[in-house]
Amino acid sequence: MPRVLVVLAFAALALLAGSAPALAHGFSSTAYVDVTSPGTGHVRAELGLEYDLLVVSAADYEHDDPLFRQGTAAFDAHDPAAQAAALDAHAATIVKYVTERFQVTTQTPCAPATDGAFRIEQREGVPYAVFALDYRCDRADAHEVHSTLFPDSEGYVRDTKTIVTYDLDLTSGGAVLDANQRSFSTQQSVGARFWEFFRLGAEHLLTGLDHILFLLALIAGSRRLREIVLAATTFTLAHSVTFVLAALGLVTVPAAIIEPLIALSIAVVAAWPLWRLWRRRSNPAEFELAGEGHLSLDRAGWIRLAVVFCFGLAHGLGFASALGIDTAWSWTLLWSLLVFNLGIEVVQLAIIAIVFPLLVLVRRRSLAAPQWTTGLIAAAVSVMGLTWFVERIAAG
C-alpha cells in the first residue's frame, strides 16, 4: 500500500507541477518603479512592467493589432532585441496606455513625457519592459504616486503589486501599491511603510509555491522539532546573507541560474529523508547502534544543514529578484528590505507551527510504518522539484 500511494502521489504532483507555472503567472504580476527628482519641477519615473502583459493589455485597449502581432511574435521567439523593437515601433500606444494608469501629482496632475527608448530585462525568468517617464510638476512639498496598472481587459491577471522606491521632497523610501491601496504620498508615515513591506514579504512567501515546498521538504525531513528549528534557522541565515548582498550590489546572478537552482533545492532537500529511509533498510544494524540519532547520523545531520545553507543562498537571491533588486543600492532605505525579510520569517514560523505538529500526528496514526508517511511526502515534493528544474532549464 505505501508503494502504491507513492506512485499515485508521483502522478498527481507531476501534473500539478506541470500546470503550476502557468497558473502562477495568470494570477498576479509585479511592477517596479523608481521615482527620483533630477531637478526642480522635474520628476522621473523608471518603470519595469511584464512585457507580454504590457503588450496584450495596451494592444487590446488601443485596438492596435500590429502591436499585438509584432509583440507576441517577439515574445514567442524569446528575442529581447525584437521585443524592444516592437515597443519602440508602437511607443505612442504604450505610453498612452501607461500614463493613463500611472500618474504623479502635486496639487494638480503632472504632465508626462517619454523619450521612447525601451529595453528588455529578465526578472525571475520573465522579460520585463523597462522605460522612463519624465513629469513636469508644480513646485510642492509632497508628491503623490497613483497606479492602476493591471488588471485590465486582458482578463487573466487578478492584481498587480507595484513596488515603488523614491527619492523625492528631501525624503526617500519605498511603498507597495495594489488593489487595496492605489496611491501613496511621499509624506507617508514610517509605520505605513513598515506595514506595506512586511505584508509584501508575507504574501510573497505565501504565494511562492516553490519556497513553500522547500519549507515543506525541510519539515518532512525532520524527526524532531529541534531539527526543523535548526534547519529553518540555517535557511533564514543563508537567504538573509544573499538578500543583503544583492541589495548592496555585491552579488548579481542571472535568473536563468537562480530559478532552476531553487527548483533543484526542493528536489534535493525533499529527497533527504528518502536517502535516510534507504540507509535504514539497507543497514539496520548501523541505525540500532547509532541509537536513532548519534555518531554517523549526527554527521549526516550536519551535512544536511550545510546543504540547506547552500540552497538558502539561492533562495535569498530569488527573494531579491522578486523585489527588483538588481543594481547597487537600488533601494534607498535598507530597512525596507529587512522588513520584507521579517514578513517572510513570520510566515515561515507560522507554517512550521501548523504543519510540523500535524505531521507528527499523521506519523503516529499512520496504518503503515511512520517512515512511509515521511517518504510519501518527500517523494511527492521531490518529483515536483525535479519537474520544475527540467522546465526551467528548458525555458532558459
Confidence band for 226, pLDDT divided at 50, 70 and 90: confident
Span 169-203, pLDDT tens digits: 777 777 778 887 888 888 777 777 677 778 878 87
**pLDDT tens for each residue of 149-168:** 888 776 777 778 888 888 88
Residue 234, C-alpha cell as written in the block:
540555517
Q: How far, in Å, CA of 44 to CA of 264, rounded?
A: 40
Q: Which amino acid is located at 167 in the chain?
A: D
Instruction: Render pLDDT for 110-138 as a digit per residue (tens, 0 to 9).
Output: 988 776 689 998 876 789 999 999 999 88
Cα–Cα distance list, 182 to 36, 98, 145, 177 (Å): 19, 15, 8, 5
Task: Tell me the pLDDT band of 280, cut-offs 50, 70 and 90.
Answer: low
Q: Is the pLDDT of residue 276 over 90?
A: no
Q: Has residue 320 got a pLDDT over 50?
A: yes
C-alpha cell at 127: 522579460
Overall pTM > 0.95: no
**Mean pLDDT value across the chain:** 77
46 vs 325, residue with greater confidence: 46
Long-range contacts of 53-57 (CB under 8 A, 24+ apart): 53/29, 53/150, 53/154, 53/157, 54/87, 54/94, 54/97, 54/98, 54/129, 55/86, 55/87, 56/154, 57/97, 57/150, 57/152, 57/153, 57/154
> Where residue 4 falls among pLDDT bands split at 50, 70, 90?
very low
- For residue 111, what is the enclosing H or E element? strand 111-113
